[in-house]
Amino acid sequence: MITNQAAGTTIDEVADGIYRIATPVDVVPGGFSFNQYLIVDDEPLLFHTGLRRAFPLVREAIAAVMPVDRLRHISFSHYEADECGALNDLLAVAPRAAPLCGKVAAMVSVGDIADRPPRPLDDGEAVTLGRHAVRWLATPHLPHAWECGFLYEETTRTLLCGDLFTQGGARHPATTEGDILEPSEAFRGHLDYYAHAKNAGALIERLAATRPTMLACMHGPAWRGDGAGLLRALGTRLEAA
Ligand SMILES: [Fe+2]
Ligand SMILES: [Fe+2]
């Protein structure tokens, strides 16, 4: 569903109760996309806010599915503008919402910059939303930022995998079962956004152990398939780099 014709923002349900909001942009040659994921439940959660300047588009897309003031958790992988630039704008329109992030992010950035205190998550800590439950998996410096981590939604087996498998291009289908490893590796060839931490292989293996059936990418389509296999294939490529 298109929620803003001028910007091309769309929202689509990609798993039971999980919606992908996507906005195409032209910040890099060939185009790019910024996605947010909305989990609609008793305690709705938004994973990634989008850029601060894109706030009106994200608010409009959420409002197409549920009242924005129902939001309870505003979560994100790490502290960058596309992950959490609109955090305070969202807190202002969702009075019962609080930031939900890893404890490193809370300590280093979010405890200071957010207009309300964050709920810091330990590695492996779970939060029940209602029908859904998310678990924080800390992945320091994978792909980048000390505070980096991901949320795994257990009932739909969706890994909200943030910047992993980042693909170029502005417009994608909401979901795909086609290959995303080669397109993301091609993108990384031009813009290597990885910190290349020594323990990347071990962190990838921890993510693979959740055996996700959906990898919900922040830049590109949400991918359906054997998530453990694809994560391990990425790990092999990173080790060879
Ligand atoms: Fe990032
Ligand atoms: Fe990102």
Task: Kindly give the confidence (pLDDT) of every residue in the chain, 241 residues in length, as a single tens digit, with 9 standing for 90 and above.
Answer: 999 999 999 999 999 999 999 999 998 889 999 999 999 999 999 999 999 999 999 999 999 999 999 999 999 999 999 999 999 999 999 999 999 999 999 999 999 999 999 999 999 999 999 999 999 999 999 999 999 999 999 999 999 999 999 999 999 999 999 999 999 999 999 999 999 999 999 999 999 999 999 999 999 999 999 999 999 999 999 998 7
The environment of the single-atom ion ligand 2, i.e. residues with CB closer than 5 A, is 82, 163, 218
Structure tokens, 196? 């290349």
How many angstroms separate the most distant Cα atoms in the chain? 47
Helix (H, G, I), strand (E, B) or coil at 50: coil
Cα dihedral 75/210/222/83 (nearest 10): 20
Distance 84 CA to ligand 1 centre (A): 10
Q: How far is the CA of 163 from the centre of ligand 1 (A)?
A: 6
Q: Where are the alpha helices (DSSP H) in 64-118?
A: 81-84, 87-93, 103-105, 111-113
What's the 145 CA to ligand 1 centre distance in angstroms?
8
Which ligand sits closest to the CA of 82? Answer: 2
